[in-house]
Amino acid sequence: MAVIEINDLSKSYRSGKAVDGVSLRVERGEIFGIAGPNGAGKTTVVECASGLRRRDGGTLRVLGLDPQSDRRELLQRIGVQLQEAALPDAIKVGEALRMYASFYDKPADWRELMDEWGLTDKRRAGFASLSGGWKQRLFIALALVGDPEVVFLDELTTGLDPSARRTTWGLVRTMRERGVTVVLVTHFMDEAEALCDRIAIIDRGRVVAEGSPDELIRRAKSDSLDNAFFALTGRETA
Ligand SMILES: Nc1ncnc2c1ncn2[C@@H]1O[C@H](COP(=O)(O)OP(=O)(O)O)[C@@H](O)[C@H]1O
Ligand SMILES: [Mg+2]
């Protein structure tokens, strides 16, 4: 059974259509990439799927639940790291983990998680004092503190230097090895290629291509597909 089933999802803001008929299936245990340029509608899809935003149309099932009508139950079973995530400057790493753990009926052991993700030495550090890489590491740990089956990661490595990005990629792979299904949103095509089992490329609110990284590259070359792929990768056709 698919862990996430999105059919014909649509969502408009006052500014216009952000998501225009998106359909996706994510299977259990995969890293599924949602890639595409800024403004394509990626974050809106994730917000609708994680129960944080109401859709205008379409059907959505995550772990068999409707993110709108079963929101409370769903939020107990998923983890979300949002693009615009922020914490109070003064909150300490340990406090943040303990607080997030308190939101869940059956949380993971936050001290263990802190240890696993290498955050124990930083437990008394205030959020504002952390570098970008450490902040992202904390956000990953926070997304996992509810012991979720599905994790949504939105632009996890935006703003990180290349070495912190590589480290973060390793952390995402570790997540998958532990059996968590990962939905990774990124506007970096190299990141989607490096990490994802399958990728949907979204442009102007629509899925313009979908497949494994290899399939997408092959198809793009043979069809000279005129889509966001080239703009994203800067790839030349052979
Ligand atoms: N809260 C909002 N209010 C109004 N417009 C929004 C809001 N969030 C996103 N948009 C608009 O919807 C479109 C899709 O945005 P978004 O889902 O954030 O795309 P992406 O994550 O791919 O960059 C963009 O044109 C954006 O400006
Ligand atoms: Mg976004």
Phi, psi of 128 (to 5 degrees): -65, -25
Per-residue pLDDT at 62: 98
Per-residue pLDDT at 207: 97
> Is 42 touching ligand 1 by the criterion CB < 6 Å?
yes
| The token pair that represents 65 in the structure block | 């639940």
User: What domains can you pick out in the chain, each with its CATH number?
Assistant: 2-85+150-233 (3.40.50.300)
Could you count the other beta carbons within 10 Å of the beta carbon of residue 235?
Answer: 13
Q: Closest-lying ligand to the alpha carbon of 205?
A: 1
Phi, psi of 68 (to 5 degrees): -85, -55
For residue 172, what are the CA distances in angstroms to 12, 15, 221, 234? Answer: 31, 34, 29, 25
Q: Which residues of 76-102 are buried (b: 16+ CB within 10 A; e: fewer)?
A: ebbbbbbeebebeeeebbbbbbbebbe
Ligand 1 atom having least distance to the Cα of 37 = 22
Per-residue pLDDT at 160: 85
What is the mean pLDDT, run by run of 10 residues, along the chain of 238 residues? Answer: 95 96 97 95 96 96 97 95 85 96 94 93 96 90 94 90 89 92 94 95 95 87 57 46
**Kind of pairing between the strands at 31-35 and 181-186:** parallel
Pocket test for ligand 1, best of 11, 44, 53, 83 (most atoms within 8 A of CB): 44
Number of Cα atoms under 13 Å in the Cβ half of residue 112: 8
